[in-house]
Amino acid sequence: MKLSLANLNELRKKVQCLDYDVEKLRKNSLQDPQWVAFGSGNIFRGYIARVIEDTIKYGFDRGISVVETFDEEIIDKIYTPYDNLSLSVTLDKDGDFSTRLICNLAEALKLSTDKKRIEEIFLNKNLKVASFTITEKGYSLKNGAGEYFPNVKSDFEKGPDFASHLMSITTAMLLKRYTSSKTPLTLLSLDNHSKNGDKLKSTILLIANTWKENGFVDADFISYLENDIGYPNTMIDKITPRPADVIEKYLNEHGIEDIGHVVTGKNTFIAPYVNSETAEYLVIEDDFRNGSVPLAKAGVYVTDRKTVDKVDTMKLTTCLNPLHTALAVFGCLLGYKSISAEMKDEDLNKLVTKIGYDEGLPVVVDPKIIEPKAFLKEVLEIRLPNPYMPDTPQRIATDTSQKLSVRFGETIKKYVEKNEVQKLDLIPLVQAGWIRYLLEIDDEGNSFEMSPDPLNETLKEQVKNLKIGQEDVSSIESLLTNSTIFGVNLVEIGLADKVKKYLAQMLKGSGSVRKTIKAALEEK
C-alpha cells in the first residue's frame, strides 16, 4: 500500500492519525492560508508539522502551505508523489517505534517558480505565521569573508521587485502586505541557533533599510517592520537524522510500500518518513501579532523572552550541543559512524559526562521551566545512547567552525568573568581535537574527508604546517586568537597554552588522540 490520499482510510488503520476531514482542511487552507512554512525538510515534517496538526484539536482548523527554498527536488520526490503526506516515526531507546501520519500539509511550493502563490498567501489578512526551518545559513547575507553574496548585492541594487535571496524575498512579500493592508504578522524562526528571532529581525531590517537608502521603500515601511511584525525568539530541540533503513523495513513490514529514501542532486538524504528521537522541546516567545495558534495546548512552551533565552543558553552552551560537538570531532578521529556507538566507548562517554556536569553545569543558566540537571541526565543516559537513532558524528561535524563560539565560547566567557578560566581542561581538549580533525587524518593514520564547512579551505591553509609525528604547533597561534571562531581570543584569556599542549600530544603518532583523551580524563 502506497502513502497516498487514496489509501488514507487504510493507512489510518495501521498508524496513528488525527481524526479530521483532511480534504476539507486542505481546501480551507488553500482558500484562507494562515500558516506558511519556509523549509520542507526533516525537522519541519517530523516535528513542526505534527505540532501544528495537534492544534487542530484545540481550534486551529488550518493546514500549512510549505515552501522549499533550497533543494526543490524535495517537492518533486517527497511531497508530490505522496500527496503531501508524511510519516513521523519516533524511535525509543528500547526499540519501540511509534508512527504518526501527518496530513496537514495543504500545498507544497517551490520558491523559484511559485512566487505568485506565495504573494497571494502574504496578502491574505488572516495569515498568522510565516515560519522558517532553513538552517542558520539561510539567514546569512554574507560569505565567510564577510562580503555580501552576489545575489544579495543585486537585491540591494535592483530592489524588491527583483529579490532573489530568501530574506530579500520575505522582505519584499512583507512590503506587498504592508502596501495592501498593513496587517500585522509573525515571522517565526524555528532553526537551531541562538536568538534566532533577533537574527531574523536584524536581517529583514538591514535589507529594508538598504532599500530605503536606495529609494525603494519609505520610512513608514520600516516602522511597520519594527512595530507590526513579530520576531519571537525560539528554542527547538529535536534530533531528526537521515532516514534509516531499519525504519523503511519496519514500515514495509506493516504494509506501507514505496517509501525508500532518495538522495537529491544537492545531496539531501530524505524519505517520505522522518525518523526521530522521543525527546522534543519547543519553547517560543509569546509575541504573536495577528492572532495566536494554540501551540501551548499542543505541548509547546509559550513564555516570555527571558525564559526562552535561558532555555536556549542552557541547551546550546551546556547540556546538549557542546556534547554533540565533542562527540562529532572525536568520533571522526576515532573512526566511529554513530553517536550511540560512541556512548559505549568508556573514554568518550566519560568525556562528555564530565564536560556536562563538571565544566558546564557550574555556570549554567537555570530557565526554571526545564531543569538543567534533569535535561543533561536525559541527554547522557537516554538520548545520546539511543541505538535506534542513526545519527553520525560526520553529520554533526558539519559547520563546526560556525558552532564553536556559541557551544563552548559562552561557557568560557562565564569562567573568565569569575576569573576561573584555568579550571577548564576538557573544553580546551575538544578545541584541540577540532584543530587535529582539520588535518583529515584519523587516529590510526587513515585519511578521511571533513564534513562540509564554509571555512574548510581557509582552515586547511591555517593548519598546513601541522604534521603527524611533529609536535611543533606554533603555527596555529593566530588561529587561536580568532574570537569569531572560538567566541573568545584564547591567547588573551590564557587558554591557548592548554589547547597547544593537547594538540601537540595528539600529533605524536598513531593512537595519540586516544592517549591524550585518556590522560586528560585522568588529570581531571
How far, in Å, are 51, 154, 372 from residue 375 at the CA level? 21, 45, 5
CA separation for the pair 473, 507 (Å, rounded)? 9
Stretches in the chain below the pLDDT threshold 70: 144, 524
**CATH 1.10.1040.10 at 308-523, yes or no:** yes
CA separation for the pair 434, 451 (Å, rounded)? 12
- CA proximity to 22, closest of 77, 88, 84, 90: 84
108, 66 Cβ separation under 8 angstroms: yes
* DSSP letters spanning 421-476: GGG--HHHHHHHHHHHHTT-B-TTS-B-PPPP-TTHHHHHHHTTT--TT----GGG
Question: Model confidence over 144-179: pLDDT tens digits?
Answer: 678 999 999 999 999 999 999 999 999 999 999 999
How far, in Å, are 219, 270, 454, 471, 522 from residue 133 at the CA level? 30, 15, 19, 43, 42
- CA proximity to 351, closest of 522, 488, 508, 485: 522
CA separation for the pair 147, 161 (Å, rounded)? 23
Place of cell 500527496: 83
Give the number of residues written for the chain.
524
* DSSP letters spanning 377-414: HHIIIIITT-TT----HHHHTTTGGGTHHHHTHHHHHH
How far, in Å, are 43, 309, 379, 383 from residue 314 at the CA level? 21, 9, 13, 16
316 phi and psi, to 5 degrees? -70, -30
pLDDT confidence of residue 168: 98
Domain residue spans of the chain: 5-303, 308-523
User: 59 Cβ partners below 8 Å, 6+ apart?
Assistant: 294
503, 473 Cβ separation under 8 angstroms: yes
- CA proximity to 85, closest of 114, 107, 56, 62: 107
Q: H or E stretch including 187? A: strand 185-189
CA separation for the pair 203, 519 (Å, rounded)? 45
Q: What is the CATH topology of the domain spanning 5-303?
A: Rossmann fold (3.40.50)
- CA proximity to 386, closest of 346, 339, 351, 432: 339
pLDDT confidence of residue 137: 86
339 phi and psi, to 5 degrees? -70, -40
Helix (H, G, I), strand (E, B) or coil at 301: strand
Q: H or E stretch including 234? A: strand 234-237
How far, in Å, are 152, 393, 405 from residue 482 at the CA level? 26, 24, 10
CA separation for the pair 58, 335 (Å, rounded)? 48
- Percent helix, strand, coil in the chain (nearest 5)? 50, 15, 35
Longest CA span, the chain: 69
pLDDT confidence of residue 144: 67
50, 88 Cβ separation under 8 angstroms: yes
pLDDT confidence of residue 239: 85
Do domains 5-303 and 308-523 share one topology? The answer is no
Question: Helices 150-158 and 196-213: crossing angle, nearest 10°?
Answer: 50
What is the per-residue burial (b if ≥16 Cβ within 10 Å, else e) of 353-383?
bbbbbebbbebbbebeebebeebbebbbeeb
CA separation for the pair 82, 259 (Å, rounded)? 9
How far, in Å, are 164, 258, 271 from residue 73 at the CA level? 18, 18, 12
DSSP label of 129: E
How far, in Å, are 3, 248, 471 from residue 255 at the CA level? 10, 11, 58
Radius of gyration of the chain (CA): 24
Question: Model confidence over 84-107: pLDDT tens digits?
Answer: 999 999 988 777 889 999 999 999
User: 244 Cβ partners below 8 Å, 6+ apart?
Assistant: 91, 275, 388, 390
